[in-house]
Amino acid sequence: MIAFEKASFGYDGHPVLEDVSLTLEAGGFYFLTGPSGSGKTTFLKLCSLALLPRGGRVAFFGEDATLLDRDRIALMRRRMGMVHQDCQFIDHLSVRRNIALPLEIAGRRTPAADKDIEDLMGWVALGHRADAYPPELSGGERQRAALARAVMLSPDLLIADEPTGNVDREMGERILSLLIELNRLGRTVLIATHDLELIRTAKREVSARVLRLADGQVRLAGHEL
């Protein structure tokens, strides 16, 4: 699905990732951990085409990232849902519009899709907040709204950066169960987190693989967790 081949990245010469080679398999459930500042967000940005590797290559569905033009990047992003660490919305549009926006952009908003939108908002338990505006949402509600928007186009890959970062344990587990449910539907899931408890909880439900990021290298973690 996404293949890193000796990919490197750094900001202004200060390296973050060095010669990373790994493949995210379709249908896999991945956790990405590592100390704060180790480069988790950077890695996810490479996975969502927000950054391009400075060396080596990253391929999406077999296509080299550096060779994609802006329109291809946009089309590629419709195949992957992204939940950022700081969920961005369009503040003057209702939560419902925000969640439905990927459909509108893809030109797939039909009357028939309205029911899907309502279902999706029920799935993340935001049905009652559909007519609110993003600045009125709590941190957890924002995370869930971002998750709903990310899966609106039924993407092949879902990427989430600290999706449980600013919610309590109960809400964190609720979000996790939504992600596990997605994975059971065949979607690939990649989550950056430093919440080891969350990883343990997940491992009871799915065969999650844990990638550890340290010193610019990404390694598949053993069974120490």
Partner 1 sequence: MLALLRGDPSADSTVPPSGATGHLTTLAAAAMALLALIAIAAAQTAGRVADDWAGALDGAATLEIAADPATAETAAERALMILRETPGIDSARRIGADEARALLAPWMGDTSMLADADLPLMLAVEEAPELDRAALELRLAGEFDDAVYLRHDRWSGTVTAAAGRLRLLALGALALTFVVTAAVVTLAARAALAMNRPVIATLRLIGAQDSYIARAFVRRFTLRTLLGAALGTGAGTALLLALASGGALPAAAPTGPAGWLALLAVPPAFGLLAFAATRAAAFHELRRVR
Q: Which residues bind partner 1 (CB under 8 A)?
A: 48-51, 70-71, 73-75, 77-78, 82, 84, 88-90, 92-93, 97, 101-102, 104-106, 109, 149, 153
Give the residue, chosen from 7, 24, 30, 34, that forms a contact with ligand ATP under the rule CB under 6 A: 34
41 binds ligand ATP (CB under 6 A): yes
For Mg ion, which is the closer residue by CB, 40 or 142? 40
- Element at 179 (helix H, strand E): helix 169-184
CA–CA dist 44, 32 (Å, integer): 9
Among ligand ATP, partner 1, Mg ion, none, the one that 38 touches (CB under a kind-dependent 5 to 8 A) is ligand ATP
Smallest distance from partner 1 to CB 126, Å: 17
Phi, psi (degrees; rounded to nearest 5) at 187:
-85, 145
Across the chain, which distance is largest between two alpha carbons, in Å? 50
Residue 193 interacting with ligand ATP (CB under 6 A): no
Nearer to ligand ATP, 35 or 186 (CB): 35
Q: What token pair was written down for 60?
A: 């999406």
CB 117 within 8 A of CB 153: no
Minimum separation from the CB atom of position 42 to ligand ATP (A): 3
Residue reference for tokens 């990310």: 150
39 binds ligand ATP (CB under 6 A): yes
Place of tokens 């969502």: 48
Give the number of C-alpha atoms closer than 13 A to the C-alpha of residue 175, restricted to the C-beta side.
Answer: 31
Closest distance between partner 1 and the C-beta of residue 76, in Å?
A: 8
Decide the pairing of beta strands 2-11 and 55-60. Answer: antiparallel
Residues 29-58 that bind Mg ion (CB under 5 A): 40-41
